Each structure stands twice: as C-alpha cells, then as structure tokens.
Chain A
Amino acid sequence: MNAPTETAGSGAGTGRRRFEMRLSVAQRGILVAIAIFAVMFMAYAWKQPGPLTANIVNTASNKGALLALVAMAQTLPVLVGGLDLSVGAIFVLANCLASTVVVGNPVSTTFGILAVLLVGLLCGTINGAIIVYGRLQPLIVTLAMGAVYFGISLALRPQPGGSVNFELADFMTNSTLAVPHSAILLLLVVLFIWIPYRRSVLGRAAYAIGSAEQAAYMSGVPIERAKILAFALSGLLAAIGGLLLTAITYSGAAKLSIANDYTLNSIGAVVIGGTSLFGGVGSAIGSIFGAFVMRTVGDLLIVFDINPVLQPLFVGIVLLVAVCMGSLRVLRIKNKLDLYR
C-alpha cells in the first residue's frame, strides 16, 4: 500500500532519483487543493465589486476556518479507515453548550471554554470506545451517536439564543494587520494538535491502521488506543469549531440542518484535500484547504449572481466530482479483479 508519508518525501534517494522532486500522494493532494483554492479565490477577488479589503478577507477566513476545523475533525477518523457522521452534531453541541457556559468574567469564561472542549473530547472518546470495544462499524455508530449528541444539544437550547463573552468573541473573529485571528487559530491547532499527533506513535499507528489493519495488528501497533485517540481528537477539533461558531454568531442554535450541512461539507473538504476515503493516506492540512475550497464555492455563487439556494446542489456536485476523480484509477487498473474486493 501507499507509505504513510507526509513529511518524509524529501528524504535522500539514491542515483538519479536524488534530483527528482518526489512528492507523496498526500503532498500532491495538498498542492492540488491549494491550487484549486487559489484559482477560485482569485476568481472571487476579481469578480467581486470593490477592492479586496481586510474586512472581506476576515469574513472569508472566519467562514472557512469554521469548516476547516470540522474538516480536520473528519480527517482523523477517515485516516484510520472510518467515517464520522457525528462531527456536525458534536460541532452543534459545542455551539449550544458554549452559548450557555462561555459567559461572564474571564475566570468563568475560561472554565466555560475548558468545559466545551472537554465535552467535545468526551463525545469523541465515547464514539471511539464504542467502535473499538464494541467492534462495530464507525459509520453506523457515529450516525446513531450523532442523533444522541444532537438530542442533547436540543435539550440545551430548545430555541436559538444564548449569549457569549463578547470580548472573547470579538477577539476570536477580528483581524490584526489584515491577518484574521481565525486563521491564527487554525495555525495554532495545526502546530499544537495536528503536528504533535502526526509525529506521535499513536498518530503513525493511525496511518498504519488505515493502510492495512491486519498487518498493523501483526506488527504490534497499538490499534485500540490509536483508534480511540483518533476519534477523541476528532471530537475535540469539532468542539473548537463549535466554539468559533459561537464567537461568530454570538448565540447557539440546535438545528439539524446545520449539523448535516457541516458533516456533508467536511467530507467534501476531506476528499478535495487529498485524503483517501479508504484510509491510510492524507493529511489534515489538505482538509483545511479543501474546506476553504468548499466555502469559496458558496461565495462564488453569490458574486456570479447564481441563486444562493442552489448551494447544496453545487456542494453535492463538487463532492460527486471529487469522488469520481478518485475513481479514475478504475481506468488504470490492468487486472479487472482488483476492482472487486
């Protein structure tokens, strides 16, 4: 299978290979996502009326960062060969909880943030524990647990509303010297969660599991812990996303459409970001750019004067096209048997 390399591509080769640019599949995926995003954002900047102000960039960054966090949350389960249909529900749950507890003086706000993050981590851990110890399919477990988490968020917030610490919210959504704080938040998440995870034993184990679970088991990879950690961190990242949503909207709302929308878009972002849905190949960095691509689709619809109600249609088409691009291997396969598992 494909080697789980994301950073090892620059390693020294031998002979003439030394001078070739060697990129791993994941690195190529990230570059493609960055290229698509660059083209789309330039089209947007060119078409939209007026100059590109820091304000517009900030708004785009806020919207993109929201989805990027959920997409990163989706990446981890996908890397171990699963799919998490509950990221949207955890995101909404965090939003509803944050609109209740992230209020008041700095001390209570801090505890509120910690509570939200802990709840996210807990939801993810529950998913992972059921999947690992119950030996069940991630897809069905997360579908069912997603309903549970959504039910709890409904109980927290039967009607949209709530409040949030305004200073914190404004700080999270503003920009300094044209650098949006939400982009810095993404950078911090990558630096302090994704990269340490990627380099840890359990992070490498996740890639090994996604490539070949049986072989990983035979090699003594800690499968159970790696899977639970992947789902737990996924819950944590979704909760950070929910926190950012609360900062942007100043309120919480338990709407099933929001949860479904983010779950769907996160999968699209993961696919565009070059992560293989069969596990073992990919990176959360790619998903970030995938998320920005997904969000720019919506912005492009507006500047090109296409009815914004058509957004789900375009998101769906982007997803289908992205999945079909992955299917191009069907044409390259020489032995027809390889098509069938």
Chain B
Amino acid sequence: MVVLRVIFRQFDRATLIAFACIVVILLIGALAEPAFLSSDYLLQQLHVAAFLGVSATGVMLVILLGHIDLSIPWTIAVGGMMATGAAGILGPELGVVLAIPFGILCGAAIGAINGLGVAYLRAPAMIFTLGMNAVAQGLMVYHTGGFAPQDRATPFMRELTVGHLVPGLPNPLLIWIVLGGATMFMLNRTTLGRQIYAIGNQERAVFLSGVDTRRVIMICFVISGACAAATGVLLAGWANRSYQAMGDPYLLPTIAAIILGGTNVLGGRGKYTGTVAGVILITILQSMLSVVQPQRYFAQLGLDIPADTFRQVVFGLVIVAMLLLYGRQKALR
C-alpha cells in the first residue's frame, strides 16, 4: 500500500493530462497508420526521446528553483564538439576513454559560470544564461575557425547511442532511465531535493532556515550544463559527428517538455514524471508531424510551405494551449 501511494503521488493532474494526450495522439495516429502502436515504433520513439529527456532533466532542476537556463543550445554544441575535438587531440587510445568526460566537464563549466552569475552575483538568470549562450557560440565558432578539429564521433560514442547494453533496450534510453531514476530519488528523498523545491517557493525562508541557497542554485546550474553537454555527446554519437548548430532545435522542445509536464515556470512545483510525459509527448508530436506531412496538403493547394513551419507553429501553439490549461497564475486582488 505504501509503495502504491508513493507511486501514485508522482502523478499530479498535469502529468495525467500529458499522458492522456500521448495516448490520444497515438490513437489518432493509429487510425491513419496502425504501425503507430507497434512496439518497434514506440521503442524507437523512446530512443529518440532519450536525447531530449537528458537535457530536460537538468533544465527542470533549474526551473524548479524559479530560474531558467537559456544556454542549452550552445552548451549541447559545446558538449558534442569538445568531446569529438578531445578525441582527435588525445588520439585513439586515451581519446576513447577521456573524450566523453571532457565534453561533459566543459558543459559543467558553462553551468558553473551560469551558477556563479545567478547565485552569487544575483544576475537575472534569463539574461545571464542568454549571454553565456552567445559566449559559448563565439568560442565554438572560434574553435572551428582557427583550425579544423576532429568532428567525427569515436566508436565508443557511436556505441553509446546505437548499441544495446541490455538486450532490447537502446543505450540512450538506459542512460535516461538511470539519470531519471537518480533525479527522482534526489528530488523526493534527499535534502537537496527538498531544498530545491523550497527555494523555488521562497528562497528567503530557506536562507533563514540556515541553508546555503547559493550553493544549491550553483549545483543545479552545474547539473543543467552537464546534462546539456551529455545530450551533445549523445547527439554527436547519433549523427556520427558534431557540428555547430547541433543544439539549436533543442531549446524550445526542452522547455516545452518541462512545462507540458506541469512544472511551474516560477519554480517550486513539478514532478519528474511530468517531465518524462512532456518529453515523450513532444517527441511523438514531432514524429507525427514528420509522418503526416501537412505540407503535402498545402502543396496540393498550390502553397509551398516548408515542413519546419508546421513544427514551429504547432510547438508554439501547443505550449501556449497547455499553459492556459494548467499554468495560470493567480489573479491580482
């Protein structure tokens, strides 16, 4: 009974709505194409969702604090490009072992600077992380401009994204499950998790209770940077190479997934299961759009509309609609 109650508590209203949306979208898709309900397709979607899931995990912690991390796109690129670059410099033996930790370390460093600015200098997170995003972009452009670094993924990175350590379970999905499990444990069962929720509600009160709130904020930004960089490493393995704009399509989906999962944008409320639901919802929505190809119908009408239009418009509208459903603030009185 106790176990059931603990599990049940992880599903709040927003999470249930998000899971319901996933089922509805899948059923609608299955009407057109029964293959949408096959286990192959679902596993493949979860495989793709894992990339988004890893980056959303870090950003969710930051949003729970009431801050935001807009440096995601280029931190992803830093993770991927630094990992492949390090592999090129270190050579085949050392590089295989050290490339991935190095890439993630670079992301963590970006997160640490973000944390320094937001926690200790009290700079507004949205501006500071936006500035860091530009700095990371400049550094990466310089990195590829001066000399030609290796952009090939190592065989190990390749194996990490397409292999199966556990039969039937793609490695990225395994990574996401482990990372997600650890995050859920951290949020629900440790002091740090409690402190994160508490800071999101009222940082002042937490500070007065004797918690070093700045340290907590710092930790969350470092995790966020590291998670983004890990996403970059995985994406580099997936595409078999790293490139500059690899993180650009990830900012909106990452934040969208977290918000669709019911995490309060102002911090303090939100379940990790909600983020999981949000990530899967976004991934399936993306997949549906590429399968249904609405641009074909417009092409028949003589309108040449690129596929990206639908992705952008649908994403934007879905986020706003979901927010209107359960993200509203209290009215002034």
Contact = CB atoms under 8 A, between A and B. Distances in A.
Given A151-B316, A340-B213, A316 B131 contact: yes
Contacts of A309: 138, 141-142, 145
A193 B265 CA distance: 33
Interface centre among A151, A214, A267 (most CB of B within 10 A): A151
A126 to B, nearest CB: 10
Contacts of A12: none
Interface in B73-108: none
B37 interface: no
A287 B137 CA distance: 24
Contact of B316 (A145, A155, A313): A145
B117 interface: yes
Contacts of A267: 127, 130
A83 interface: yes
A140 B328 contact: no
Interface residues of B, number: 58
B135 interface: yes
Given A140-B323, A320-B128, A150 B328 contact: no
Contact of B306 (A141, A154, A341): A154
| Majority SS at the chain B contact face | helix
B304 interface: yes
Interface residues of A, number: 54
Interface stretch (A23-31, A173-181, A198-206, A323-331): A323-331
Contacts of A141: 320, 323
B310 interface: yes
Contact of B130 (A145, A217, A319, A324): A319
A158 B303 CA distance: 11
Nearest to A133: B324
Contacts of B135: 312-313, 316-317, 320
Interface string B248-290: 1000100110010000011000000000000000000000000
A108 interface: no
A130 interface: yes
A154 B127 contact: no
Contacts of A134: 320, 323-324, 328
Q: Which 5 A-B pairs have the closest CB atoms?
A: A313-B138, A316-B134, A151-B312, A148-B316, A316-B135
Given A154-B306, A309-B145, A316-B131, 8 more contacts: A136-B327, A148-B312, A152-B309, A158-B305, A310-B138, A312-B134, A313-B135, A340-B207
